[in-house]
Amino acid sequence: APSVRLSPASRSLFDEPLAIAVQGLGPRQQVTLRMSLRDETRELFQASARYQADDDGELDLARCPALPGGSFSGLEPMGLLWALRPQRPFWRLVKRDVQSPFLLQLEVFEGHGESPGRLLAQAQHERAFLRDGVRRVPVREGRIRATLFLPP
């Protein structure tokens, strides 16, 4: 059965690369990958890309280019992240509470049709803004308002 492999596996910092691969596909099988996340106001952001597995049924986004017809095309290992678009026009992805991560949902669908085919695999991943152990200290001095982030 197909499975998604993410590296780092379950959590990473927002500015770190995220490696995405799918294993267990058929040779040269066509699939559509869809990435979703909801912001703090519950607004949905999505991106999708069409791919074809290699002869061994492997799909590594660092080596396989996205085919035309999705949110982007070409060799873009992080394309599913930078191409996220809101469902509501002109909405922006803004993070107000850096202490909570964004939760990404990755789904792998069969084929390249306009409507998604059968769901083959899925995975979740957290994109955090603070490394473990970082302390957030509010600063209030006179008219100054700031936040100090202290490493462990």
pLDDT in tens, 110-132: 999 878 889 999 999 999 999 98
Best CA proximity match to 104, nearest among 122, 131, 87: 122
Question: Among 33-37, 78-82, 109-113, whose mean pLDDT is lowest?
Answer: 109-113
What is the set of domains in the chain, with CATH numbers?
Answer: 3-150 (2.60.40.2240)
- C-alpha angle 104/24/73, rounded to 5°? 55
CB 51 within 8 A of CB 77: no
Its pTM stands at: 0.89
Calculate Rg over the CA atoms of the chain: 18
Question: Helix and strand tally (H, E) in the chain?
Answer: 1, 11
pLDDT at 16 over 90: yes
